[in-house]
Amino acid sequence: MAAELAAAWLAFSAPVAAARAARRPMVALESTIIAHGMPYPENVRTAREVEAVIRELGAEPATIAAIGSRIRIGLSDDELELLGRSGKAAKVSRRDLPAVLSSGGLGATTVAGTMICAALAGIEVFVTGGLGGVHRGAPESFDISADLQELARTSVAVVCAGAKSILDIGLTLEYLETHGVPVLSCEQDNFAAFYTRDSGFRADYRLDDAAAQARFIRTKWDLGLAGGVVLSTPVPEVAAMPREEIDAMTAQALAECQAQGITGKAVTPFLLARIKALTGGRSLATNIALVKHNAEVGARLAVALGGDCGAS
């Protein structure tokens, strides 16, 4: 009954509905990166390019957002434009879904929000840019992203370029370990750090092959071990930024954030915007490159997992 009630809130685009009916592999995509993570028009152009990458590799992209009191699984060009241009979309995590849906507001789903919606839609693979996590100074502020707790409870594989480099990556990985979330790495031994390839921290397991990744994930869920799996893959080397440069700029942006009293959901967009300004826009190019690469890895994983997970 609960599943039937939840399904009533879902609205599938025609391409996604066709993929579900044909039992084709699907890849969920978040919408916060469109509404809050990049400026217009780069945000909408990147969203379309990422969807094209996934289609070329044999899977169907499903960008997710809350529009008109429904969870939209797959967005039209007009809906992508709405999210990219409006500047008014709420950031939607677990706590925010009821408010946005019941009020009919416009909502861009975060990692946590997208995981929930993907699971409701029967989509097992989700591609994002970088994970949220434990913020620097969290022992005093208790600022920990809801993304991490969602990974502990919702069975969706999340493909990312590691965690955002503005975070305390060591504590983020400790949190995931405590909650039993496996962290896989693809293409290198170490966990990635968004703008930079290497966080300096080892992932739990390295699995470069999509078939091996799929076997690991399927085994976890077949055993009844609920919860997500993180698959980290580094930004392509040609687009990566030097770790020392990003660390220095992150420290400056964090100091400015604290001086201005910025807290909560506003922190990450502020830091990303400041780093973009401090790098003269180079960080945006890196962000776009890593999202596209993540889409390639995620599409291959979805195909390897098989397309038998979305149809009712």
* pLDDT one-digit tens code per residue, 7-40: 899 999 999 999 999 999 999 999 999 999 899 9
pLDDT, mean of residues 83-112:
96
The predicted model gives 241-269 an average pLDDT of 84
In percent, how much of the chain has pLDDT > 70?
96
265 is catalytic: no
* DSSP category for residue 184: E
Query: Considering its fold, how many domains does the chain have in total?
Result: 1
| Residue 62 within a domain | yes
- In the block, tokens 């490159």 appear at 289
pLDDT at position 309, please? 42
- Asked if residue 256 lies in contact with residue 166, where contact means CB atoms within 8 angstroms, the answer is no
Which of these is catalytic: 79, 91, 164, 292? 164
Q: Is residue 308 part of a domain?
A: no
**Which residue range forms the structural domain that includes residue 261?**
2-303
User: Three-state DSSP class for 232?
Assistant: strand
- Res. 2 pLDDT band, cuts 50 70 90: low
Q: Which residues contact 125 (CB under 8 A, 6 or more apart)?
A: 25, 26, 27, 28, 59, 156, 157, 159, 298, 301, 302, 305
Residue 288 falls inside a structural domain: yes
Kindly state the helix (H) or strand (E) to which residue 274 belongs, with its residue range.
helix 267-278
Which position among 30, 79, 124, 150 bears the catalytic label? 30
Q: Which of 24, 32, 30, 128 is nearest to 73 (CA)?
A: 30
Q: Is the pLDDT of residue 250 over 80?
A: yes
Q: Write out pLDDT tens, residues 92-106.
A: 999 999 999 999 999
Q: Is residue 309 part of a domain?
A: no
Stretch 149-163: mean pLDDT, rounded? 97
Residue 311 pLDDT exceeds 90: no
> Does residue 31 fall inside a structural domain?
yes
Q: Give yes or no for residue 265 having a pLDDT over 80.
A: no
Residue 164 bears catalytic tag = yes
CATH number, domain at 146? 3.40.1790.10
The answer to whether residues 30 and 71 touch, using CB atoms and an 8 Å cutoff, is no
The band of 307, judged by pLDDT with boundaries at 50, 70 and 90, is very low
